Structure 1
Amino acid sequence: MNLKQRFSFIFSSLFSVLLATVTLTVYLLFAHFRQDEFSALMAEKAQTTAKLLIEVKEIDYKMQKIIDSNSINKLYKENTQIYNEDYKLIYNSNDTQTVDLTHTDLDQIKKEHRIFKKDEQYDILGLYYTYDCKHYYVVVSAEDTYDNNKLNYLKYLLFGAFIIGTAVVWLLSFSLSKKALQPLDNFRKRIQKITDSNLKVRLSEAKREDEINALAHSFNQMMDRIDNAYNRQKEFTGNASHELRTPVARVAAQIENLIRRPDLDYVIRTNLISIFEDTFQLSEIISSLVALADINSSEHQFSFTRIRLDELVFNVVAGLSKVFPDFKLKFEIENNTGITAEPEIAGDETLLKIALLNLFKNAYIYSDNHALECLIRQGDQGIDLLITNTGAVPKIDDTATLFTAFYRGSNIGNIAGSGIGLSIVKRVLEYHKAHVIYNIIDQNTNQVHLSFYPLKDG
């Protein structure tokens, strides 16, 4: 559950609880008011009947029944009963609706002077009446259908208001929270565009002074600091790499010239060859650092040209053959497009040459026979480059880890290396929107699979 949903859920739940409490309170207060009003009406009826029947001598029981049956304030299913102090029923206004009262009920009336209770059907009011030193129990029962109908109507009305109000608030809360927090969604989309090669992205700041605008301002300040630090680090790496590349290349050339001398002692030649290989590896590391600086350089972006992948492979192999004379390559091109087309891709030739140099060198060093197979496969979805060798395979669950900087597989043995070659390969291919995958296709066979998107015309 995201922030918008959590905020809307909490707010809507609190409103629902509050609205339910208000509606329940209104219903209970009205029910209590209705009961008090009806009991007051029954008490008035009891008082009137008692006065007429007990205090007025001219009115007998028959006349009182006539009065009760024709009263303008007659209640629904009304019945009035009067008991004397000996608990004997002396008057019943409706013989068909007698409410049976026990001595205990009448004693309760005598004790409390006035009671009101409900049974399954009737509301019952008992009144203790005293006249001329005589005591009477006046009991009025009736069914409050009119007020019960009003109470039921109020119940359904409040329930409907609760359902509609809750639904409206839930819809509005989710809608308003989505609208109110829309700037955060925009921030998230903008932040997702930030990469190490695109640190200039900034969040838009509004003129209003609120928490979201303050967050955007603080984030932009943080990005400014990160961008400045990253540029200083990138500038140092680029300058140092360029400064180191020239003297290392000069040293390598001088060692190569010495190795070619025919009068050179065998031991010295062997040592010079070893030094030359180390110098070549150092040159590769420096070239990789330069490549990283070029990838991160804004001036280097979008400088892609059309490159024939087969020619790029031949150039890399030719350079490696000078360092490793026993390097052997089996090369094939497979065209599955149905049309005659050159294996061309779009990219930066220098960077791609560094990536392929690392891949071919690794494949050569870690092979058991110094022989490689290279296949360029053209298809409708793009061009694949597959480099295969035989040799020990690394013991690793996730082969993508091999492309992590400074990680070296379990099959390195005594082979020297820096552990950054494959990470450079991954960075270069990501820069070209290409993919690289390492596969173990057999228990003693390694394969690196590169996928390039098809070249767009124009």
Structure 2
Amino acid sequence: MTIRLRLTLLFTILIASILAVFACAIYFAYAFNREEEYYKRLKQQAITKAKLLFEVKISPGVLQQIQAYSSNGLHREEVAIFDTANHLLYHDAVERDKVKETPEMMRKILSRKEIHFLQGDQQAIGILYTQGGKPYIITAAALDTIGLAKQQALLYILIVSFLFAVALTARAGVFFSRKALQPVSDMVDQAAEISARHLDLRLQAGSGKDELAELAATFNKMLDRLEQSFDAQKQFVSNISHELRTPLSAIITELELALSQYRTEADYKHAIGLALADAKRLARLSNGLLDMAKASYDESEIIFRTLRIDELLLDARQFVLKSNPDYHIDLHFAGNTEEPETPECSGNEYLLRVAFINLLENACKFSEDHRCMVSILQTGNALEISFSDKGIGIPPQDIPKLSQTFFRGQNGHYAQGSGIGLSLTYKIIGLHKGSIDIKSTPGAGTSFTVYIPNS
């Protein structure tokens, strides 16, 4: 069932229910009012007959003749007058006797002074009437033919009007549901045209402030993010292709040259050494790309636990020194030495170790003495981890671009690299709700300060 049909049905059922309640209320209110009015008419007719009999002194026979020739004969009222001993004093038509008075009924009239009841399809009334200080019991009954006919006509009118209103409501529901969902249909048509080749297309949000406009705006924001992701992916793939092509081409060229003719053992060793260096570079690049992929995961999918930063830095230091024996890394723990606080944070052990290794290698690699000074300071709710060197420094215009993948600054010729390390470090620290501050003076050195919330 489509939303349009569902809305039409719900709208029609709702309006039909409201109309049915109003129709029933009108019908029953009219029926109740008609009944009460006719009881009043019966009472008035009964009192009039009693006054004619007792005050005007019209004989019972004459009253019966008047009743017989009444123009209201089709639904004429039948009146009977009794004394308190239940002796009949007057009756419009004894042979018909619609009320069928009983002693129990008489006692009820005497006690209550007025009663209303139904005698078959006839309305009936019994009252206690006083004339000249003497009480009398009067009963009257009749069928409200005209009133019931009007009530029946009202019922037909209400039924026909109800059915017509429901049909009109259903027709209006179809029209309004179509108008209300027209923006949704337009959005569906527009969304169908959006594909990987046309990610620049957007939904028309219009100038409205309703939920549909908000949905279109939210969808457009999602498309903006997707387009940025696709563009970044294309750029990333392009950069990867370029970075992988260089060492692979070098390896192939070196091996082809080595095989092109007979060479000495020293030449073969030299060619193998060059190929091995390029292979190691390719391995580092592949590892960096894998780490970049891990750092790009959703934060909810990365396992975080409480880590000791000092132990993590010692592990990273050991890893760097094992791969580069000529590097020198000094660790300094600042703060209160008498009651030192344990530097802890909530994070992923593997990713933080990769970030620290990148910062340590970067500092040592761009320093002539290959030395890096690391200090840990706990301030308030954050850990400050500073990686300092006295190397060649970073030009000021290159600092804002260090978070870009595959970016190589002006000093890239000083040491080999893939341009992944620092961008990967930025991603990892960002995942840990931290930040990186860079201070550098060309020719004097650079300081990377990492701020991570402690636990």
TM-score, normalized by length of structure 1?
0.53
- How many residues end up aligned between the 2 structures? 276
In 1: Cα distance, 2:35 partner to 2:76 partner: 17
Correspondence for 1:155: 155
In 1: Cα distance, 2:167 partner to 2:134 partner: 63
In 1: Cα distance, 2:129 partner to 2:186 partner: 79
Q: Structure 1's 120 and 94: CA in aligned 2 closer, same or farther, altered over 3 A?
A: same
Note the C-alpha offset of 1:80. 1.4
SS at match of 1:135: strand
Note the C-alpha offset of 1:132. 2.6
Correspondence for 2:128: 128
In 2: Cα distance, 1:74 partner to 1:39 partner: 18
Alpha-carbon contact 1:85-1:134 (below 8 Å) kept: no
Correspondence for 2:88: 89
Correspondence for 2:237: 237
In 2: Cα distance, 1:9 partner to 1:260 partner: 83
In 2: Cα distance, 1:185 partner to 1:249 partner: 54
SS at match of 1:158: helix
In 1: Cα distance, 2:264 partner to 2:25 partner: 107
In 1: Cα distance, 2:261 partner to 2:22 partner: 102
Note the C-alpha offset of 1:202. 0.6
Note the C-alpha offset of 1:128. 1.2
Note the C-alpha offset of 1:157. 0.7
SS at match of 1:181: helix
SS at match of 1:223: helix
Q: Tell me whether 1:4 sits opposite 2:14 in the alignment.
A: no
Alpha-carbon contact 2:115-2:127 (below 8 Å) kept: yes
Correspondence for 1:67: 66
What does 1:400-419 correspond to in 2, within 5 Å? none
Q: In structure 2, give the amino acid aligned to 1:86.
A: A
Write the deviation string for residues 374-410 of structure 1: whole angstroms up to 9, x where unpaired. xxxxxxxxxxxxxxxxxxxxxxxxxxxxxxxxxxxxx
What does 1:43-442 correspond to in 2, within 5 Å? 43-57=43-57, 59-72=58-71, 76-98=75-97, 99-252=99-252, 254-255=254-255
Note the C-alpha offset of 1:97. 1.9
SS at match of 2:127: strand
Alpha-carbon contact 2:81-2:136 (below 8 Å) kept: yes
In 2: Cα distance, 1:91 partner to 1:159 partner: 45
Alpha-carbon contact 1:126-1:139 (below 8 Å) kept: yes
The farther-off stretch of 232-241 and 254-263 is 254-263
Alpha-carbon contact 2:42-2:77 (below 8 Å) kept: no
SS at match of 2:206: coil
In 2: Cα distance, 1:235 partner to 1:177 partner: 46
Q: Structure 1's 182 and 264: CA in aligned 2 closer, same or farther, altered over 3 A?
A: farther
In 2: Cα distance, 1:15 partner to 1:24 partner: 14
Q: In structure 1, give the amino acid aligned to 2:26.
A: V
Any gaps of 5 or more consecutive residues in structure 2? 290-455
Alpha-carbon contact 2:83-2:137 (below 8 Å) kept: yes
SS at match of 1:164: helix
SS at match of 2:197: coil
Q: In structure 2, give the amino acid aligned to 1:64.
A: L
Q: Structure 1's 89 and 264: CA in aligned 2 closer, same or farther, altered over 3 A?
A: farther
Note the C-alpha offset of 1:2. 4.5
Alpha-carbon contact 1:76-1:142 (below 8 Å) kept: yes
SS at match of 1:100: coil
Alpha-carbon contact 2:203-2:220 (below 8 Å) kept: yes
In 2: Cα distance, 1:166 partner to 1:256 partner: 88
In 1: Cα distance, 2:257 partner to 2:157 partner: 102
Alpha-carbon contact 2:84-2:137 (below 8 Å) kept: yes
In 2: Cα distance, 1:165 partner to 1:215 partner: 35
Correspondence for 1:341: none
Note the C-alpha offset of 1:187. 0.9
In 2: Cα distance, 1:88 partner to 1:264 partner: 154
Q: Structure 1's 215 and 13: CA in aligned 2 closer, same or farther, altered over 3 A?
A: same
Note the C-alpha offset of 1:3. 3.9
Alpha-carbon contact 2:114-2:126 (below 8 Å) kept: yes
Write the deviation string for residues 232-280 of structure 1: whole angstroms up to 9, x where unpaired. 2221222221332343244245446656778999xx9xxx9xx9xxx9x
In 2: Cα distance, 1:242 partner to 1:120 partner: 103
Note the C-alpha offset of 1:42. 1.1
SS at match of 1:204: coil
Correspondence for 2:15: 15
In 2: Cα distance, 1:213 partner to 1:176 partner: 18
Q: Structure 1's 96 and 257: CA in aligned 2 closer, same or farther, altered over 3 A?
A: farther
SS at match of 1:81: strand
In 2: Cα distance, 1:54 partner to 1:41 partner: 20
Note the C-alpha offset of 1:126. 1.4
SS at match of 2:75: coil
In 1: Cα distance, 2:76 partner to 2:148 partner: 14
Q: Structure 1's 108 and 239: CA in aligned 2 closer, same or farther, altered over 3 A?
A: same
Q: Structure 1's 106 and 257: CA in aligned 2 closer, same or farther, altered over 3 A?
A: farther
Higher Cα Rg, which structure: 2
Any gaps of 5 or more consecutive residues in structure 1? 290-458
Alpha-carbon contact 1:75-1:142 (below 8 Å) kept: no
In 1: Cα distance, 2:172 partner to 2:252 partner: 73
In 1: Cα distance, 2:111 partner to 2:9 partner: 54
Write the deviation string for residues 282-303 of structure 1: whole angstroms up to 9, x where unpaired. 9xxx9xx9xxxxxxxxxxxxxx
Q: Structure 1's 127 and 71: CA in aligned 2 closer, same or farther, altered over 3 A?
A: farther
SS at match of 1:197: helix
Q: In structure 2, give the amino acid aligned to 1:47.
A: I
Alpha-carbon contact 2:75-2:144 (below 8 Å) kept: yes
TM-score, normalized by length of structure 2?
0.54
SS at match of 2:215: helix
Note the C-alpha offset of 1:208. 4.1
Note the C-alpha offset of 1:103. 1.5
Q: In structure 1, give the amino acid aligned to 2:229.
A: A
In 2: Cα distance, 1:4 partner to 1:207 partner: 24
Q: In structure 2, give the amino acid aligned to 1:88.
A: H
In 2: Cα distance, 1:71 partner to 1:53 partner: 17
